[in-house]
Amino acid sequence: AGSGVLSLLMARHGGAARVYAAEAAPGMAALARDLVRRNGLEDVVKVLDGRVEDLELPEQVDVIVSEWMGFYLVHESMLESVLTARDRWLKPGGLMMPCAAKIWAAPVDAEGLRREVESYGCLHGLDLSPVGEAELARRCRDPQVEL
């Protein structure tokens, strides 16, 4: 749910009779609850504290709306949680929003990164290459967003 903005929009403008907003981070769940209250939507939106995998709903749902993709579809590691929600709570014939995604990839030459990784090779007779390999793994794991 994050701050709950998508839940608020579904309640106010999407025609939802009931919205369950799951949020694992206690601080964000509290913020979402405050936004629900300030917008007078307590009768429609229920903020649930916890991971999707640990929660129970009293009913199945018609639609699952989730912004799970982060920077590049898999960054926030939420896809498995969304699929768990789908398998546990979505009614047959229900709708997932979004329901499809594409990842486009292109080869790149990161000359600066390669030089940095290689700089951890041999120093005064010591093999420091694992430091460079760890840095390369970290850089590949975490998105490099530059504006």
- The pTM score is 0.65
DSSP bridge partners of 23:
49
CA distances from 56 to 9, 81, 127 (A): 23, 13, 52
Alpha helices by DSSP H, listed for 41-119, are 79-89, 111-118
CA distances from 31 to 22, 26, 73, 102 (A): 13, 9, 25, 31
By annotation, the residues acting in catalysis are 67, 76
Q: Are 49 and 21 in contact (CB under 8 A)?
A: no
Q: Are 19 and 45 in contact (CB under 8 A)?
A: yes
5-97, which class in CATH?
A: alpha beta
Identity of residue 51: R
DSSP characters for 97-147? Answer: ES------------HHHHHHHHTTSEETTEE-HHHHHHHHHHHHHS-----
Output the tens digit of pLDDT for each of the chain's 147 residues: 787 888 999 999 888 899 999 998 888 899 999 999 999 999 999 999 988 899 999 999 999 988 776 666 666 667 788 888 999 999 999 998 887 877 777 777 788 888 888 888 887 888 888 988 888 888 887 766 665
What span, in angstroms and rounded, lies between the C-alpha atoms of 46 and 90? 17
Residue extent(s) of CATH 3.40.50.150 domains in the chain: 5-97
DSSP bridge partners of 96:
64
Q: Are 55 and 48 in contact (CB under 8 A)?
A: yes
